[in-house]
Amino acid sequence: MNAVLAQADLRDQLVSWEWISRRYDQIWDAAVSHLWLTVFAVVVGFVISVPLAAVALRWRRTYAPIAWVTGFLYTIPSLALFAFLVPILGLGFATAQVALVSYTLLILIRNIVAGVDGVPASVKEAADGMGYSPLRRFVEVDLRLATPTIIAGVRIAAVTIVGLVTITSLVGEGGFGVFILDGLRRSFPTPVVLGVVLSVILAVAIDVALVLVERLLTPWARREVRR
Amino acid sequence: MTDPTVAAGDRSSAIRLVGVEKRFPRAPAPAVDDLNLDIAEGKLVVFVGPSGCGKTTTLKMINRLIEPTAGEIHVLGREIRSIKTSELRRQIGYVIQQIGLFPHKTIADNIATVPKLLRWDKRRIADRVNELVELVGLDPSMLRRYPAELSGGQQQRVGVARALAADPPILLMDEPYSAVDPIVRAHLQDELLALQHRVRKTIVLVTHDIDEAIKLGEEVVIFATGGVVAQHGPPAELLANPASPFVESFLGEERGLKRLSLLRVSDLDLQPGLVVDADADPSTAVQVMKSHGSDWIGVVEGDRLLGWTWLRSLEGCTRVGDAPLDYFRAQVAPDTPLRKVLDGIVNSHTRVAVVVDATDRYLGMITIDHLAEGIR
């Protein structure tokens, strides 16, 4: 009787610290899994986006179809995408990543293209005139100078993915989303609040980390202009 | 450095254009039409003309930033299509109007761009960067800064240093000074002339400013609209004998003055002028003045020029040297441009400029008549 009452009491509280304190290991595992799902999706998305952006920049006519296809992927509701993918890839990491990666592409490609377009034409012409090969110029000059815009895209993509990972818990890979799903199923607020708060903290932490990465990668932008 | 196989071949002309044509897609007329041009090794050649005359297009065809639609271009004896584009460009320094320094690289790294592409070792690159900083007159403390921290003039010097880094035999400069203010521009132009005196590159410089072309060019190529050469020659020759009304109008007003700015005192046949020795008798001096219709005379002692005196001041003197002497305002050296001599003459009482060398030896006297004869 006491145990049942305690259980009911626990359910009525918004956050039960006792419930949380018994699950530190589980929370740590969820954090690692959430971070891993996010980083994997953004890195794979970036690796796919760079060559696609390069193609779009080199052959301008391909930009519209590339933007159209990735834009289409971006607009598919995630639940609908899972319904489509689960019969093919089953429940698990692959399905989750296909969905997550496809959401990063539009953001990343757009920012890479915009960033490279923003590199002054005179700098590109000088690089060509000095004898850079096209590939070397793209990597060492174009992408390098587009870093601020590209990182801005990575930040948006990463924060978006942190949010989406909570939904991939539906296919069994959810990081903090597992808590949210669990809490919703049992009408038990503590895991829901926990999942939401930790997701937000992770998103902010990744965003701050990327700002620091940008500062490290663009030492020239920090120097004060002295004339 | 220079690939020996590329450097071999025809040594007399560094760059040769044969029947070069460039038609841009959808343009009604060619930008460059059947252009034939020989640019001799070690010369500073200026392409000048109105906008849309194809001068920049021609320049960019030399390093293949623009591909011609017909004709051949030979650089150091080789047809440029037979050389890998990036190899060709690493042998040709390139300076552009907007400078185009790499904002993400320090000044030292900017200068080291081509040596790095050529995989020089670090020691050699560092030595070369220090050498160039001195050559273009930059402060070595700037090497660790980024381009945004430098003034326009300093950036342009870095641009030139970067272009010269791998010691290319050829330097292409596309309107290098049109983005800097007139005072800095004049400085940079003087520096380029001094630099060229030291390094003796084949330089092709594009400008729309005829005065810049006359000042800098050993040879000037005047382009007319449609990419045709209206006239090609040393600037003094162009000014003396413009080939067409177009060239004449493009050379602009004051062609005589422009020619004067190209010639120097040493180009004139110097005359001793209206002078007498300090020990001469005043009556001799008066006679000389009378015969020249003058009311003043210069006074020399040995090979020194002491000054000049009025006819009336000689009264009562036993020798010319005892008269009160005035100094000549317009004193010039053998390397003074004649335009400056003219300026001196019109600002002086005596209407002459006197020439003395670095050791103060008197060489002669220049009048307006001498100038007019000199440019004839």
Tens of pLDDT, residue by residue over B309-351, are: 988 888 888 888 888 888 888 889 998 989 889 989 988 888 8
According to DSSP, the residues that pair with B362 across neighbouring strands are B356
**Mean pLDDT, residues B40-51 taken together:** 93
Quick check: B149 and A129 CB within 8 A?
no
B258-272 pLDDT, tens digit each? 888 888 898 888 888
- Residue that is written with structure tokens 């639940």 in the block: A79
Of A126, A218, A223, the CB nearest to B96: A126
Quick check: B99 and A122 CB within 8 A?
yes
CA angle B1, B5, B8 (to 5 degrees): 100
**Mean pLDDT, residues B102-117 taken together:** 94
Do the domain assignments include residue A18?
no
Q: Is B113 on the interface with A (CB under 8 A)?
A: yes
- What is the distance in angstroms between the Cα of A148 and the nearest Cα belonging to chain B? 12
Chain B environment of A122 (Cβ under 8 Å): 96-100
Do the domain assignments include residue A11?
no
Helix (H, G, I), strand (E, B) or coil at A142: helix
Quick check: B146 and A127 CB within 8 A?
no
Report residue A19 as tokens: 């419930």
Cβ atoms of A70 and A106 within 8 Å: the answer is: yes
Q: How many CB pairs under 8 A join A and B?
A: 74
Chain B environment of A149 (Cβ under 8 Å): none
Chain B environment of A214 (Cβ under 8 Å): none
Do the domain assignments include residue A41?
yes
Q: Is A74 on the interface with B (CB under 8 A)?
A: no
**Mean pLDDT, residues B172-197 taken together:** 90
Best B75, B96, B102 residue to mutate vs chain A (most A CBs within 10 Å): B102
Q: How far apart are CA A166 and CA A186, in angstroms?
A: 17
Q: Is B37 on the interface with A (CB under 8 A)?
A: no
Q: How far apart are CA B29 and CA B52, in angstroms?
A: 11
Q: How far apart are CA A41 and CA A43, in angstroms?
A: 6
Best A119, A123, A125, A130 residue to mutate vs chain B (most B CBs within 10 Å): A130
Quick check: B162 and A130 CB within 8 A?
yes
Percent of chain B whose pLDDT exceeds 90? 52
CATH number at residue A166: 1.10.3720.10
Band (pLDDT 50/70/90 cuts) for residue B247 is very high
- What is the distance in angstroms between the Cα of A129 and the nearest Cα belonging to chain B? 6
Helix (H, G, I), strand (E, B) or coil at B176: coil
- Residue that is written with structure tokens 């983005």 in the block: B179
Residue in chain A nearest B100 by alpha carbon: A123
**Mean pLDDT, residues B83-105 taken together:** 92
Q: Is A17 on the interface with B (CB under 8 A)?
A: no
Band (pLDDT 50/70/90 cuts) for residue A226 is very low
- Which long-range contacts (C-beta less than 8 Å, at least 24 apart) are formed by B122-131? B128/B165, B129/B165
Burial label for B31, CB within 10 Å (0-12, 13-18, 19+), is: buried
Q: Which CATH superfamily is domain B4-91+168-262 in?
A: P-loop containing nucleotide triphosphate hydrolases (3.40.50.300)
Q: The complex's ipTM?
A: 0.79
How many other CB atoms are there within 10 angstroms of residue B312's CB atom? 9
pLDDT at position A91, please? 85
Burial label for A109, CB within 10 Å (0-12, 13-18, 19+), is: buried
**Mean pLDDT, residues B199-228 taken together:** 92
Q: Is B234 on the interface with A (CB under 8 A)?
A: no
Band (pLDDT 50/70/90 cuts) for residue B98 is confident
The reply to whether B266-374 shares the fold of B4-91+168-262 is no
pLDDT at position B173, please? 95
Do the domain assignments include residue A5?
no
Q: How far apart are CA B78 and CA B14, in angstroms?
A: 10
Do the domain assignments include residue A93?
yes
Longest distance between any two alpha carbons in chain B, whole Å: 87
Query: What pTM, to 2 d.p., does this model score?
Result: 0.79
Do the domain assignments include residue A24?
no
Of residues A97, A74, A73, the one with CA closest to residue A171: A97
Band (pLDDT 50/70/90 cuts) for residue B196 is very high
Helix (H, G, I), strand (E, B) or coil at B21: strand
- What is the distance in angstroms between the Cα of B33 and the nearest Cα belonging to chain A? 24
Burial label for B52, CB within 10 Å (0-12, 13-18, 19+), is: middle
Do the domain assignments include residue A1?
no
**Mean pLDDT, residues B197-212 taken together:** 92
pLDDT at position B375, please? 74
- Residue that is written with structure tokens 């040709």 in the block: B92
Q: Is B66 on the interface with A (CB under 8 A)?
A: no
Of B99, B104, B113, the CB nearest to A220: B104
Residue A76 identity: I
Chain A 96-125, residues with CB within 8 Å of chain B CB atoms: 120, 122-125
Of residues B93, B136, B90, the one with CA closest to residue B116: B90
Q: Is B64 on the interface with A (CB under 8 A)?
A: no
| pLDDT over 90 at B373, yes or no | no
Output b/e per residue, A199-215; b: 16+ Cβ within 10 A: beebbeebeeebeeebe
Q: Is B295 on the interface with A (CB under 8 A)?
A: no
**Mean pLDDT, residues B367-372 taken together:** 87
- Domain segments of chain B as ranges: 4-91+168-262, 266-374
Of residues B21, B19, B18, B15, the one with CA closest to residue B67: B21
A159-210 pLDDT, tens digit each? 999 999 988 888 888 789 888 888 888 888 888 888 999 999 999 999 999 9
Helix (H, G, I), strand (E, B) or coil at A70: helix
Of residues A185, A161, A153, the one with CA closest to residue A50: A153
Burial label for B255, CB within 10 Å (0-12, 13-18, 19+), is: middle
- Alpha-carbon dihedral sign for residues A22, A27, A30, A32: negative
B56-66 pLDDT, tens digit each? 999 999 999 99
Residue in chain B nearest A218 by alpha carbon: B104
Q: Which domain holds residue A105?
A: 32-217
Band (pLDDT 50/70/90 cuts) for residue A67 is very high
Do the domain assignments include residue A13?
no
Of A129, A141, A220, the CB nearest to B89: A129
Residue A3 identity: A
A85-108 pLDDT, tens digit each? 888 888 888 888 999 999 999 999
* Beta pairing, strands B13-22 & B32-40: antiparallel
Residue in chain B nearest A120 by alpha carbon: B100
Q: How far apart are CA B356 and CA B24, in angstroms?
A: 57
Of B65, B87, B98, the CB nearest to A122: B98
Q: How far apart are CA A146 and CA A112, in angstroms?
A: 7
Of residues B166, B167, B142, the one with CA closest to residue B153: B142
- What is the distance in angstroms between the Cα of B103 and the nearest Cα belonging to chain A? 7
Band (pLDDT 50/70/90 cuts) for residue B127 is very high
Provide DSSP, B81-118.
GGS-HHHHHHTEEEEETT----TTS-HHHHHTHHHHHT
- What is the distance in angstroms between the Cα of A220 and the nearest Cα belonging to chain B? 5
Q: How far apart are CA A100 and CA B62, in angstroms?
A: 49
Percent of chain B whose pLDDT exceeds 70? 97
Chain A environment of B149 (Cβ under 8 Å): 223-227
- Count how many domains chain A has: 1
Quick check: B90 and A130 CB within 8 A?
yes
Quick check: A129 and B63 CB within 8 A?
yes
| pLDDT over 60 at B145, yes or no | yes
| pLDDT over 60 at B296, yes or no | yes
- What is the distance in angstroms between the Cα of B122 and the nearest Cα belonging to chain A? 19
Task: Kindly report the length of chain A.
Answer: 227
Band (pLDDT 50/70/90 cuts) for residue A45 is very high
**CATH code for the part of the protein at B266-374:** 3.10.580.10
Report residue B49 as tokens: 């003309």
pLDDT at position B6, please? 43
Cβ atoms of B225 and B53 within 8 Å: the answer is: yes
* Beta pairing, strands B44-48 & B219-224: parallel
Q: Is A223 on the interface with B (CB under 8 A)?
A: yes
